[in-house]
Amino acid sequence: MKIIVASFQCESNSLAKLRPSISDFEYFRGEDIFKKLAVRDIFEEKGYAVIPSIYAVALPSGTVDRNIYDHYASQILNTVRDNPDADGIFIFFHGSMHVEEIGSAELNILKEIRRIVNPECLIALSLDAHANITDELSDYADIISGFKTVPHTDQRECQRRAANALCYCLENGIKPYTYIQRVPFLLKNDTLQTAFEPLKSLIDETLLLESESDVLTANLFLGHCWIDAPNTSASTVVCAADKKRAELVAKDLANKLWATRRDYKFLCEAELPEECVKRAVDGEEHRIFITDSGDNTTAGAEGDSVDILKLILKIAPEKKTCVAGITNGEIVNGFWGTKDGDKVQLSLLGGIDATVKVHGEILGWTKEIIGRSLTLSIGNVDVVFTELRSAFIEKGNFDKAGVDLLSYRIVVVKLGYLFTELKPFADRELFALSDGASCVELSRLGLKKIIRPMFPLDDFEWKA
C-alpha cells in the first residue's frame, strides 16, 4: 500500500504588491522533503510504502502568479500520475494560498488530484490555523487537521494528527466524512491568540472531542483577513466516521465561536503609530518594542515603509533606537561598497546624513542566510536595511545583521504581535495600528469580494 507525501505553502496577502518568485520558495524534493515533514515514521511503521513528492514553502507574500503555482503544483501532480494506485495522500498546505486566475490553490490542486486517483484513495490535509476554508474542500479532502496554536508552535503535532487519522481510516476501512461550517466572522488576526480566553477554552474543547472514538479531527480555522476573496472567513471543520456526528459537532463549535466574536482584544497597548512612539519615548521601561503591524512581513506586507522611522527621527532622535528590517535593495546595493564608518546621504529621507554602521546578513524563515543587510546610523537611531524582505522574529536576526539588540532603548520591527522568541527581550510591547498591506483595521482594507454580512464590518445575528 502506498501513501504520497507533499507540501506546498505560501500564505497570500492579496493586498500586497510583492509577489513570490520561484526562488522565494524553500524547496526540497524526494527523500529530502523529510528534513521538513514529520510523518514518514508514522506511515512506515504501519507498513506503507512512502512516496515523497516535493516540499515548497515561501514566506507570506502577495498573490501567487499562475506560472509559479503551475511550476510547483505540476510536480505534485506528476508524482500522483506516477502513482495513480496510491491508497492515501498526505499534503501539508497552508490553506490561504491565493493564485491569480484560480483563487484557492489548495482546492485547485485537490480537484486535479481527484481526477487522477481512484475514488477510494483517502486524502489527508494538515493546514494552518489561519486557513480560509472553501466550501468545496470537503468534496476532495477526506481528513483535515489544523494547527491549534496561534502563534504557531504545533506544526509537527498537526502533521502527525492528520497522518495518524489517515492510517486509522485505511486500516479500518473507514471513509470519513468532513463537515465544513463557515462562520461569518473575520477579526484582527493579532487579537486571536490561543493561549488566552476565549480561544483557549474552545481549543481545549476540540482536543476533548478528538479524544472521543468517533471524532477524527475537530478544528477551528480563524481565517486570514488579508485575502479579498469569497472564501475569506472563519470556519469550523470536523472529520468523523458518521456524517450526522460531524455536522452536529461542527455547528456546535461554530455557534460557540460566533458567541465569542466581541471578546477579542489586543493583548498589549494598540495605538496609532505616533501615539506608540510618544509612549515609547515617555516610558520608563528598559527596552520597548514597537511593532509596525501594517507593514508586517510575516503577513505578506513588503516591509518597506519608513513612516515609523520618520516619526522616531521627528519625535525622539536622541533615543537609542533600532528600526529593524526595512526592505530596500537599492540602499543595500548602492552603499554596499562603502566601509563601516563612511558618511552617506539618504535620499529616501530627504538627503539626511547617515553613517554606515555595519555590513551584515539576513536570515530567512528557516534560519538560513538569504541575503545582505546594511545598518546605517542617523545619530542615535540605527536603521537595518535589507536587500530582501525579511522578518526580525528573534535575537538571531539582529545578531546576523551585526547589531546588538540588548543595547537599544526602543526597537521597531515589522511584525504584528511579537514572536515568542522576542518577548523575553521586551519590557513593554506597543502595537502600532499602521496602514499598509497588513493593516489590522478591517474597515481600511477595502475588501470587496468577501461574502457579506461579515462581522465586524456588519452587526447582525447568526446561527449555524
**Rounded to two decimals, what is the model's pTM?**
0.92
* pLDDT score for 367: 79
Residues 193 and 90 in one domain: yes
Question: How far from each other are the two terminal CA atoms of the chain, in whole angstroms?
Answer: 39
Confidence (pLDDT) at 277: 97
Give whole-number Cα distances, 165 to 39, 133, 142, 333, 444, in Å. Answer: 12, 20, 10, 50, 41
Q: Identify the pLDDT of residue 366.
A: 72
Alpha helical stretches, state H, 84-140: 105-114
Of 214, 230, 259, which closes a domain? 259
For 23-147, list the strands marked E by DSSP: 25-29, 49-61, 88-93, 98-99, 103-104, 122-127, 143-146
> Does 266 fall in a domain?
no
Band of the pLDDT at 38, cuts 50, 70, 90?
very high
| Residue 297 covered by a domain | yes
pLDDT at 59: 86
Is residue 12 in a domain?
yes
- Do 29 and 87 share a domain, yes or no? yes
Look at residue 36 and tell me whether its pLDDT is greater than 80.
yes
pLDDT in tens, 64-83: 999 999 999 999 999 999 99
Domain boundary among 197, 228, 259: 259
139 shares its domain with 210: yes
Band (187; pLDDT cuts 50, 70, 90): confident
Compute the radius of gyration of the chain from its Cα atoms. Answer: 23
Cα–Cα dist 427/408, whole Å: 12
Q: What is the pLDDT of residue 297?
A: 94
Please say if the pLDDT value at position 365 is more than 80: no
Is 224 contained in some domain?
A: yes
Q: What is the mean pLDDT of residues 437-451?
A: 93
One domain for residues 43 and 99: yes
Into how many domains does the chain fold?
2
Count the alpha carbons within 13 Å of 138 in the hemisphere toward its beta carbon.
Answer: 19
With CA atoms as reference, report the closest residue to 293 among 310, 281, 305, 283: 305
Give the whole-angstrom CA distance, residue 336 versus residue 447.
Answer: 40
- Report the number of secondary-structure helices (H) and strands (E) in the chain: 10, 20
The model's pLDDT over 212-266, given as tens digits with 9 standing for 90+, comes to 999 999 999 999 999 999 999 999 999 999 999 999 999 999 999 999 999 999 9
Q: Which sign does the torsion angle of CA 365, 189, 302, 350 carry?
A: negative
Share of the chain above pLDDT 90, in %: 92
pLDDT score, position 33: 98
Domain that holds residue 168: 2-259
When pLDDT is cut at 50, 70 and 90, the band that residue 435 belongs to is very high
Question: Does one domain contain both 397 and 423?
Answer: yes
Residues 294 and 213 in one domain: no
pLDDT value of position 364: 81
450 part of a folded domain: no
Mean pLDDT over the full length of the chain: 96
Roughly what angle, to the nearest 10 degrees, separates helices 273-282 and 307-315?
40
Stretch among 103-112, 222-231, 362-371, 375-384 having the lowest mean pLDDT: 362-371
Q: Are residues 285 and 349 in the same domain?
A: yes
Of the residues 233, 259, 285, the one at which a domain ends:
259
Beta-carbon count within 10 A of 245 CB: 16
Domain assignment present for residue 427? The answer is: yes
| Alpha carbon distances (Å) from 100 to 14, 25, 66, 74, 438 | 10, 17, 6, 16, 19
DSSP 97: -
pLDDT digits 0-9 by tens, 274-331: 999 999 999 999 999 999 999 999 999 999 999 999 999 999 999 999 999 999 999 9
